[in-house]
A and B are shown apart, each in its own frame.
Chain A
């Protein structure tokens, strides 16, 4: 028979009574006022048993005077208790008790003599049953003394006892309520994984001045007092602070950015000052952390002279400077936009240290996942390492959302009656579809590609192998790569005639490796604003690095990125994009803000003790970069700097299919088609010289359509004749000319990329400049047409030196002419006339309608000019 827990009667407040039915009391062997321990979820409560005044059974009301700390702050409600949860406890009279007193205000604690507190506490505690480690609630006395924590009791053989007037009371310490509550909050620790290093350094900063105050002062050392946490949203900055504060046992004063901003002038500053004051008073009792969350909203960069934020920023600066050495509290700021902070904040003395928390690496993701899954019943078959591999680019918040989704899927399945109550791999897979990494949210090149396997691409075995080498192998066999000191290639260029499955190959590569996959086209990058495209490309690389390992696919790279050697405009968008790309692929280094985890250095020894761990480490070392895959059918248009090893290392020629490959493609394409018995694919393959893969696919389609056309929707199979007839109508999209140029480019690539196709040769030829070519022997460069042309010109100059002054004069004249024409070009603004033939401002012009464009001279006399224009139009 269970009893229902009701809230306590007003008249019983502070009496430590527990009202039961008399029947239950006698069945438990309790007499009036005998002590009783009630076990509740989250703690226990010690009370004295009394019969209810109406003698009813089935209810229980108790006054929580002496209970576990959790129950004091969160009193239980609406519970049903089993009689087994109630147990009588023997309570001998205590000889002594050691307590900590919790008082309401620091004022009281400071001014009241300890003798008085002792007397009051003794008066209050008389006749109270206490339990070890419980908290006694004294709020009913309505004085400054709020709680008493029972630290230990004497005799210590008993866990509970009665305090009488003869019990010796020893006060171990006095705290304020706020400090005590913050300690309580710290106790229910939040799960946190993968941030051990950062949290250790934070803990050190908090604990050092407490543990070794003498050493620090004798060394004349001032401890750092400000830390700025920087990182993308969702990596756990706020959680980290709460966790560290809880572990150290410090009290936490939190300031949310917008919270302190008031409407009246001066109000915000006042609030900020009071926050610092409260932190200072809290620091008197123990370590204290002042946490400024979302600091960028509180302290933006100071701009105009009279913005109200400026005063707030100035106030914060002076407050942080005004902290003297005796104020032992630490200021932690958190932001995800460090660049928008006022620079004055980020100097030693204010925020001394900046801790960057990047998107979690694979190892960190594994840690986070195992912390998150500790409370979830996960199938033993779920491998955390595998899951961490798949969740590339997920931050802590994403991972917790993922676990939640997976659990929800499991619950849904369980409620349908099938499956057991555990979260399996399939639930995680379901959840992976709906939870996307927030690193890539609002990213340019995020694409959902339809999966395709290597087997679905006919022929091209060699190319496939090379692609697998450079993409799949580093992911699959990282330990082999590390053993041989190999690093993953930075980039791969696929080139070849159009329609030969370059893009499809990349799709297959992306499918087979579990990398994040980003793909950009010109439409994503180009923008009407100067500098915008470059910024977008740099941003793309930044996002890709945040979720490395990542594949970045640049299709039709020749049109996207220009070449410096042969473009007409030296400072066009394409050239600028090229420079961004070159920098991003092999620049000096990364920005400090992009730091992720700590650099791992692999040790060769001790490999066999933890094989799995070793593999994870290898994985991290090997795959921490972004891999760029570019595809083009005009490799000659690419800049030579892009093609050197270190940028696009592997240059892979995707050839037009030979007969064998064509047969393969035809077989794959006709797999789903009902072919007639007479169809000879070998013959077709032989006849389709110069046909690309796309052409062959089209051929199959045409033949099937022809069959439908001829046999009037009733066709059951496709006969050989249809293939032949459609073949007659088609022409191959490749020309031998094209293949010849690419053939010559095979030679080019042979010279450019010695690693892929031929034994080592000096790489200078590709990066050679025209000027260098002049000095070298001319026979070395015969194969490259463009170099040859330029080289020929300089050679001609070398032979006929008398031409040089003439050329110099011509160059001078050309420069003059160009500048003059440029001047005229620039000094002629365009004016658009509207229907009433008045000049119209550009903003109001409707771009969809055709307008009359008239060019007027710069020295514009509006009235006369307008008259002139009007007369012209009449």
Chain B
């Protein structure tokens, strides 16, 4: 029973790492697309602040009727559009996260089914070409945790933004940037490098 379990586990791991690699690429591209949207969000917030600072009745523009309300409406509308677009991006991020989660849980399920037949010694066995199964499972779990954390943080940031809280809107791009955790991202790349021989074998 021990013999067929390990290869199938290896097979599943290979598949998961492949999908992890793909998903990482998609995640990065989506994040790049989000960048300009966040900048435009900051822009809009700045414009709103400028609008509330100015007294239109003291300027030559006072002849235009209801100028302030109209401008505010326009700004709010475009903010809405930007947020809507960001939400779309979030859903694609969510799909990335979900696919990673599903992959990882599938591998774990497979392991749990076979956990009686494989002893710990075999699981922790390493060689130059193949890392041990326990290491790989751990890496997968780490990657999954990273994406879940990233997603929750970004979601919290976007969902807690309010149109009347201008300073939060202005600070949003900075916070969006700071959420990014390059070291964890690098670690995933590292992991993929470590398992590259194993995937190709």
Contacts and interface: CB of A to CB of B under 8 A. Distances in A.
A281 B115 CA distance: 52
B124 A15 contact: no
Given A31-B120, A51-B120, A142 B153 contact: yes
**Contact size range, B:** 20 to 34
A216 interface: no
Nearest to A13: B145
Interface stretch (A116-124, A247-255, A670-678): A116-124
Contacts of B160: 108, 111-112, 116, 144
Interface string A74-117: 00000000000000000000000000000000001001100010
B142 A11 contact: yes
A31 B149 CA distance: 26
Contact of A14 (B124, B145, B155, B187): B145
B17 interface: no
B180 interface: no
A541 interface: no
B120 A26 contact: yes
Nearest to B135: A53
Contacts of B137: 32-33
Contact of A51 (B134, B145, B156, B159): B134
A864 interface: no
Contacts of B155: 119-120, 123
Given A14-B145, A14-B149, A22 B120 contact: yes
A143 B152 contact: yes
A120 B156 contact: yes
A123 B120 contact: no
B142 A124 contact: no
Identify whether the interface residues of B are mostly helix, strand, loop, or mixed: helix
B176 interface: no
A276 interface: no
B124 A55 contact: yes
B152 A15 contact: no
B121 interface: yes
Contacts, number: 66
A126 interface: yes
A14 B105 CA distance: 18
A722 interface: no
Contacts of B162: 111
A25 B120 contact: yes
B198 interface: no
Nearest to B146: A14
B115 A32 contact: yes
A50 interface: yes
A17 to B, nearest CB: 8
A32 B145 contact: no
Interface string A127-143: 10000000000001111
A408 B123 CA distance: 55
A51 B124 CA distance: 8
Contact of B142 (A15, A111, A140, A143): A15
A120 B152 contact: yes
Contacts of A14: 145, 149
Nearest to A10: B183
Interface string B108-139: 10011001000111011000000000110110
Interface in B33-75: none
Contacts of A33: 108, 137, 141
A123 B134 contact: no
Nearest to B165: A111
Nearest to A34: B115
Contacts of A120: 152, 155-156, 159
A732 to B, nearest CB: 102
B156 A144 contact: yes
B148 A123 contact: yes
Contact of B115 (A31, A111, A124, A142): A31
The 5 tightest CB contacts between A and B, nearest first, are A31-B115, A143-B156, A26-B120, A22-B120, A116-B159
Given A14-B145, A120-B152, 11 more contacts: A22-B124, A31-B112, A32-B134, A50-B134, A51-B124, A111-B160, A119-B155, A123-B155, A124-B152, A142-B153, A144-B156
30 contacts: A14-B145, A15-B145, A22-B120, A22-B124, A25-B120, A26-B119, A26-B121, A31-B115, A32-B111, A32-B120, A32-B123, A33-B137, A33-B141, A51-B124, A55-B124, A111-B160, A112-B160, A116-B160, A120-B159, A123-B148, A123-B151, A124-B152, A126-B101, A126-B148, A127-B105, A141-B149, A141-B152, A141-B153, A142-B149, A142-B153
